[in-house]
Amino acid sequence: MRYTPTKVAGVTIIDHEPQRDHRGFSARSFCAHEFARYGLTFDVAQTNIFFNYTRGTVRGLHRQAPPYPEAKLVRCTRGAIAAVVVDVRPESQTYGDQLMMELSGDDHRTLHLPPYVAHGFQTLIDDTEVSYQVSGQHVPAAEEGFRWSDPEFGIVWPLPVTVISEQDASWPSRTPELASVDSEALMLMGVDILRAERVNGRS
């Protein structure tokens, strides 16, 4: 595997090195010993799958707040996403920096996220599936969210937002005086789209 640091401290891109033959290919996707050599300590506690019906769906931004560390390995196993990471750790040397990169079911790329950064994604294709391997147990009381459209972050999502959950639509802005009413209307419209699809039998 190839390990590429990013501009956000601790966030690492992991590319697989497939061994190909007439059958297809095989590739290692996780090795604790190899991770440790690159300073990526990771004990898998959970694996979660997120399936998304609609192109333009946004999930996030989320993190598990201190003192409950939760590192993640994020992969897109079907379709494609724009993955976003924002460094919201005040003690970090890259505090305030952010990263956006595409992950897809074709590139088999993995993104390593250290504890306490905020993360989210937008789907670029219908019927997209994302897998998270998580290093810590989920603590609901420690879940923390950040507004996807917060002016302080200034994230430029690649597509209009079509679907978002009520919870993600309700996270407070860090700069509430700049929050856009139009953005909130768009988010709620996306929630209605998701509800309509489920009523019509897509779920």
Which residues have a catalytic role annotated? 62, 132
Please classify residue 19 by burial: count the beta carbons closer than 10 Å to its beta carbon, then call 0-12 exposed, 13-18 middle and 19+ buried.
exposed
Neighbours of 33 (CB within 10 A): 6
End-to-end Cα spacing for the chain: 36
Neighbours of 23 (CB within 10 A): 6
- Alpha carbon 11 to chain centroid distance? 12
